[in-house]
Amino acid sequence: MSNPSKQRGTAWETGLVKYLRELGLDAERLRQTGKNDEGDIALRVDSRYILEAKATARINLAGWIAEAELEADNYGKHRGIETPGFVVAYKRRNHSTGQSYIITTLDEWLRQIA
């Protein structure tokens, strides 16, 4: 893999899954499927969640949320289940995985906790 950005992203996704599993959570890295991508990580707790992992210097909240929402929808459609919740897991530079940021919309957050 010669693309440094791709390497950073892959390392972040792998580290995030490892961290979630160390906490005893059911986390799985998902395959990239192009335009029908289903997100980076599937997390199953009381219900399912799709995590879109980002480890970039430039912040694009609107784009990331749109991507996560579309990919969660793809995940649900491909499996014939209700669309899972979605969040963006943004790597906080020079901090541990547990100090990263989780980003979603207010409506999505309320749907997840209701």
Q: CA 71, CA 99: separation in Å to the nearest integer? A: 24
The string of pLDDT tens digits covering residues 74-87 is: 999 999 999 999 99
CATH number for the domain harbouring residue 74: 3.40.1350.10
Count of the separate structural domains present in the chain: 1
Instruction: At 6, list the tokens.
Output: 């791709």
Confidence of residue 31 (pLDDT cuts 50, 70, 90): confident
Phi, psi dihedrals of residue 96, rounded to the nearest 5°: -70, 165
Strands (E), 1-108: 26-29, 41-44, 48-54, 85-90, 101-103
Domain that holds residue 108: 4-113
Which range in 9-13, 18-22, 34-38 is most confidently predicted, on average pLDDT? 18-22
Q: What's the whole-number mean pLDDT along residues 97-113?
A: 95
Instruction: At 9, list the tokens.
Output: 């992203």
Containing H/E element for 10?
Answer: helix 4-22
